[in-house]
Structure 1
Amino acid sequence: MSESISQVSMRVRGYHLDGYGHVNNARYLEFMEEGRWAFFDEHPRLIKQLHKAGRAFVVVNLNIDYRAAALQGDDLRVLTGIVDVGERSAICHHRIVREDGTLVAQADLTFVLLDMQANKAAAIEGEVREVLLGLVVSKEAFAA
């Protein structure tokens, strides 16, 4: 697997479950957010460039495909990486996989960079763009 893909392991706990005994759909958002935080921890240069440029990531769209139920006690891996960088937005891909290799959920999250001073979306340019482009991986790399 590419070093540009971060991986977080987690165990499904009782408080993650809904009344049907499987992980509540909203909890997957939290699992993916944990994956993004890990991604940023593993790529400190990206955060440094964002702060230097006065920018922050802002989520503008999220599409999730739920593929299999996760149950209490399941060990999951949350994989996170950047799969596309455009002029004004980029796409972060998440894949949640059970220990046995079953794909539980996957998502594409579109984000823009917020100019913190102007409080509006900004072009992805300069050193921030260079760093992001250096992290891009294909979705196929998640299955490797």
Structure 2
Amino acid sequence: MTEREPFRMQIKVRLYELDPLGHLNHAVYHSYAEVARIECMEQASRGSTVLHDERVSPVLLASSINYRREIRMGETVEVTCDAKFGTGKSFQIEHHIRKLDGTLSAELTCTVGLMDLERRKLVEDPRGRFERAGYDMAVLSTAE
């Protein structure tokens, strides 16, 4: 049996994303992870509008990062996205940002929930909500 691969996408580093030292600004790593989360969820939705129609949306609750290797102008990186569901109202999404040669540049762990936009509260069972909304759980998580 082969191990499943997480969702992945490529992003090219642009000049305005650099800091004064000439490498990717620390905040941009978080932006790259956010871009990957949005793309992953869009792909997993398979065009479903159920969550939107129910006024439920993913919300970022926390984000932490470990920087490993610098990223410089003109490089292209690959950003992965892999959800880890548990039993509570929140779940974890892990991101790895790698150079195209495979060098790990950063690891991010994000805590995410699904928020009822009317009540401004997290909903129960986010995994179940995604599933009932028709999301492809295998796109969101390698554990599926």
Pick the TM interval, shorter chain.
0.7 to 0.9
Letter in 1 for 2:29: Y
Q: Could you tell me how far apart the structure 1 residues matched to 2:100 and 2:27 are?
A: 21
SS in 1 for 2:112: strand
Task: Decide whether the 8 Å contact of 2:46 with 2:136 is kept in 1.
Answer: no
Partner of 2:68: 67
Tell whether 2:27 aligns with 1:26: yes
Q: CA deviation at 1:127?
A: 4.3
User: Structure 1 residues 46, 118: CA separation in 2 closer, same or farther (over 3 Å shift)?
Assistant: farther
Task: Decide whether the 8 Å contact of 1:62 with 1:108 is kept in 2.
Answer: yes
Task: Decide whether the 8 Å contact of 1:85 with 1:133 is kept in 2.
Answer: no
Task: Decide whether the 8 Å contact of 2:44 with 2:136 is kept in 1.
Answer: no
Partner of 1:122: 123
Q: Percent identity?
A: 26
Tell whether 2:41 aligns with 1:40: yes
Partner of 1:77: 78
Task: Decide whether the 8 Å contact of 2:95 with 2:109 is kept in 1.
Answer: yes
SS in 2 for 1:85: coil
SS in 1 for 2:82: strand
Cα-to-partner distance string for 1:75-107 (whole Å, 9 max, x where unaligned) = 100111212333211111111000110001111
Q: Could you tell me how far apart the structure 1 residues matched to 2:33 and 2:72 are?
A: 17
Q: TM-score, normalised to structure 2's length?
A: 0.82
Q: CA deviation at 1:126?
A: 7.9
Task: Decide whether the 8 Å contact of 1:91 with 1:110 is kept in 2.
Answer: yes
Q: CA deviation at 1:50?
A: 2.1
Tell whether 2:110 aligns with 1:101: no
User: Structure 1 residues 126, 6: CA separation in 2 closer, same or farther (over 3 Å shift)?
Assistant: closer
Give the length in aligned residue pairs.
137
Q: CA deviation at 1:27?
A: 0.7
Q: Could you tell me how far apart the structure 2 residues matched to 1:126 and 1:108 are?
A: 18
User: Structure 1 residues 49, 92: CA separation in 2 closer, same or farther (over 3 Å shift)?
Assistant: farther
Q: TM-score, normalised to structure 1's length?
A: 0.82
User: Structure 1 residues 67, 102: CA separation in 2 closer, same or farther (over 3 Å shift)?
Assistant: same
Tell whether 2:7 aligns with 1:2: no
Task: Decide whether the 8 Å contact of 2:45 with 2:136 is kept in 1.
Answer: no
